């Protein structure tokens, strides 16, 4: 679409809306909270390795996104929040 390679990490949180404890906990926790500094460093290494191994991707602009997925197992509904263009730490 925008001639940019999008690398997407998907983080999911599921809960049963009939269980009050799970619903309360879900309100305090976000799937993207699991993108801690160590994970971001690892993803930076993986991204660098992937881009250097793909001839078509070399020199191509890219961005790193996170898809935060909320799954309500009881209602069988999902909500997705996209966090776009995160900055990965330098190696």
Model pLDDT, residue 42:
92
The full DSSP string for 28-80 is H--GGGG--HHHHHHHHHHHHHHHHH-GGGTT--EEEEEEEEEEETTTTEEEE
Model pLDDT, residue 88:
80
Model pLDDT, residue 8:
94
One pLDDT digit (tens) per residue for the chain, 91 residues: 578 889 999 998 887 765 555 545 555 677 788 888 898 899 989 988 988 898 777 788 889 999 999 888 888 899 999 999 988 877 5
Model pLDDT, residue 82:
95
Could you tell me the residue ranges of all domains in the chain? 5-86
Predicted structure pTM score:
0.74
């Amino acid at each position: 679409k925008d001639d940019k390679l999008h690398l997407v990490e998907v983080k999911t949180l599921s809960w049963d809306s009939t269980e009050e404890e799970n619903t309360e906990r879900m309100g305090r926790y976000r799937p993207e909270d699991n993108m801690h500094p160590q994970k971001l460093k690892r993803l930076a290494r993986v991204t660098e390795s992937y881009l250097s191994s793909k001839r078509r991707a070399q020199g191509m602009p890219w961005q790193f996104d996170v898809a935060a997925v909320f799954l309500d197992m009881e209602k069988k509904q999902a909500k997705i929040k996209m966090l776009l263009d995160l900055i990965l730490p330098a190696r």
